[in-house]
Structure 1
Amino acid sequence: MFTPLEDIRFLADSENRFTALEALAAGPRTRSELRSATEASSATISRLLGDFESRGWVARDGNRYALTPLGEYVASEFIDLHGHMTTASELRELLPWFPLEELDLEVDLEVVTGARITAATPDNPMAPVARVLDIERKSTRTNTLANIFPEPCIEARHEAIVDGTQTMELVTTPAVVESVMASPCADEFEDIVAADRATVYVHDGDVPPGGVYDGTAYLIVLDDRDVSVGLIESDDSVLVDRLAETFDEYRRASTRLTASALRDGHESAWAET
């Protein structure tokens, strides 16, 4: 008879046990298939399956092993727990900068359970930026809040909107517009503003970077130096709805940016609503 803590420790103490359980959750497996999934030895797989059988989690059918109803329950719960802990591990460095309170989510981390997290690392500090560019280039429809609009992003948006079929609504700031118009990408930005599939607004104040693309919420996480340290993407309806509401709030408090004003070089290029 095993106690609950002993069963938890049994699974948590071995990557092979968890990997095998996860493989069995997808369907019956032979010993050879479990060896391939875990990259463990035949002796390890034999011990592992014996331990699973003694707990009533698996049953043998010919040369294949399948989860019992109890095993399916254990696998489902433990895989969920593993997913939660994976998210917690990924958020460890991002959480101090994650704007849950600004989004009025009452610090409920359930909204990011199962999220795709792209964190900056010493080996790849530009990983979040690369992922943002991927989103900007490949999305079908985006509602974006942008506190910066660097040249690679302008080029990606130009490719997606002017040369492609993406539809974009963008809320940004006067400082961003001024910076872009002083950059080598000014003409490309003007093309974006003039495009039928793009609507650009300017908000007189800071905006939190992120938005919604193709039904997925995304948050760009900045540290206290305004350096991107991570990107969080989630299909969770709470986060998607809140990001959509946040975008609408900023858009309503903004004014429309026009291509004609940009061409005329008006300081108040966003004077038309």
Structure 2
Amino acid sequence: MKQYTRDSPVVDIAYLARSEHRVPTLVALTERPRSRSELCELAGVSSSTMRRTLDEFDDRLWIRKDEYQYVATRLGEAIASGMEDLIERVETERTLRHVWHWLPDAIGEFPFKTWSELTVTVAEPDAPYRPVGRFESLLRETTTVRSLRPEVALMDPCFDVLHRLIDEGVDVTLIDRPECHEYFISTYPDRSSAMMQRDNFTVLEHDDLPPYGIGLLDERVTISCYEQDSGTVHALIDTDAPAVREWAASAYETYRSDARRVEPQTSVG
């Protein structure tokens, strides 16, 4: 294991990380010159604390003084940019770590920039339906729906939106497991029968689907993370990243090519 000395870059990183005002202060000085009093107000620290911070920055050649104001040097700009990137990366990792084991393996193969373009909505004890609400908001804005394992779309209140979209002529294709279709049809016999008669609504079934769901909407791709046994939606990931859409469309078409059509007459229980 590598040992870090006092001259190691990690020492400077640790210095910046130990107080929450240091990185924002350096970033602020990359934007324009600022006085010490302005920096104190911006960072919410005392004048003596800011003076010590500016002295440390000056010792490292990250800033220079211009009359009564301070401004970042090119070295300071490089450090500020690097720290912003590091913070963004850690924020993204913290968002993904709790849902990582539910995600498709393909997500781990995308570059970090793609990870940072993912919107992650996680169910919390005080907001268990937050992922469902997020999917509903996306569903309201689309004019096409292609979905693999669409259980989230069949939950209240998403189902009401899906029903309205079908009535409005939106093309909807769902690929799910036979047992899911059977449950849905038995639970909503009248509504499901009427939906199945529509030319713009296609239902397919497949016996070997992945543990996650994929939704292809107009502008966004969604990935639904389900509890394996109960079907509870633990998280919803959505993005407009082209790489994710390309992967999702390919995965969807692969399963679609092997799926069986559920004919309208077989949907009436």
Same fold (TM over 0.5): yes
Structure 2 SS opposite 1:182? helix
Aligned equivalents of 1:192, 1:39: Cα separation in 2: 61
TM-score w.r.t. structure 2 length? 0.76
Q: Which runs of structure 2 are paired with 1:44-193 in the superposition (5 Å)? A: 44-60=49-65, 65-100=70-105, 103=106, 110=112, 111-148=114-151, 149-163=154-168, 167-184=171-188, 186-187=190-191, 190-191=194-195
Q: Equivalent residues in 2 for 1:216-255 (5 A)?
A: 216-225=220-229, 226-255=231-260
- 1:59–1:130 CA distance, 2 compared to 1 (3 A): farther
Structure 1 residue 128: Cα displacement: 1.8
CA distance in 1: counterparts of 2:41 and 2:237, whole angstroms? 32
C-alpha separation in 2, matches of 1:228 and 1:205: 19
The one-letter code of the counterpart of 1:233 is D
Aligned sequence identity (%): 26
Larger deviation, residues 48-57 vs 122-131: 48-57
Change (3 A) 1:120 1:22: farther
TM-fit CA distance, 1:166: 5.5
Displacement of 1:11 in angstroms is: 1.7
Residue aligned with 2:128, SS: coil
Deviations 1:156-177 (A, max 9, x none): 22344535x8554432233232
Between 1:38-47 and 1:91-100, the stretch displaced more is 38-47
How many aligned positions are there?
258
CA contact (8 A) 1:211 1:244 kept: no
CA distance in 1, matches of 2:135, 2:12: 41
Q: Which residue of 1 aligns with 2:216?
A: 212
* In 1, Cα distance between equivalents of 2:65 and 2:194: 66
Larger radius of gyration: 2
Report the Cα distance in structure 2 between the residues aligned to 1:118 and 1:255, rounded to whole angstroms: 32
In 1, Cα distance between the equivalents of 2:173 and 2:13? 48
Query: Deviation of residue 221 (structure 1)?
Result: 1.8
Structure 1 regions of 5+ residues with no counterpart? none
Deviation of residue 242 (structure 1)?
A: 1.1
Structure 1, residues 43-96: CA drift from partner, whole Å, max 9, x if none?
Answer: 444433343333233345566654332222222222122122112222222222
Evaluate the alpha carbon distance shift between residue 142 and residue 62 of structure 1 in structure 2; reply closer, same or farther with a 3 A threshold: farther
Deviation at 1:114, TM superposition (A): 4.1
Contact 2:150 2:215 in 1 (8 A): no
3-state DSSP class of the match of 1:194? coil
Instruction: Please identify, of 117-126 and 165-174, the stretch whose mean Cα deviation from structure 2 is larger.
Output: 165-174
Instruction: Give me the whole-angstrom Cα distance separating, in 2, the residues matched to 1:118 and 1:227.
Output: 14
**8 Å CA contact 1:144, 1:210 repeated in 2:** yes
Structure 1 residue 33 displacement after superposition: 5.8
* Contact residue 147 and residue 173 of structure 1 kept, 8 A: no
SS in structure 2 opposite 1:121?
coil
CA RMSD of aligned residues (A): 3.5
- CA change 1:122–1:150 in 2 (3 A) is closer
SS in 2 for 1:15: coil
Q: CA deviation at 1:185?
A: 7.8
Unaligned runs of 5+ in 2: 1-5
SS at match of 2:80: helix
Q: 1:71 to 1:150 in 2, by over 3 A?
A: same
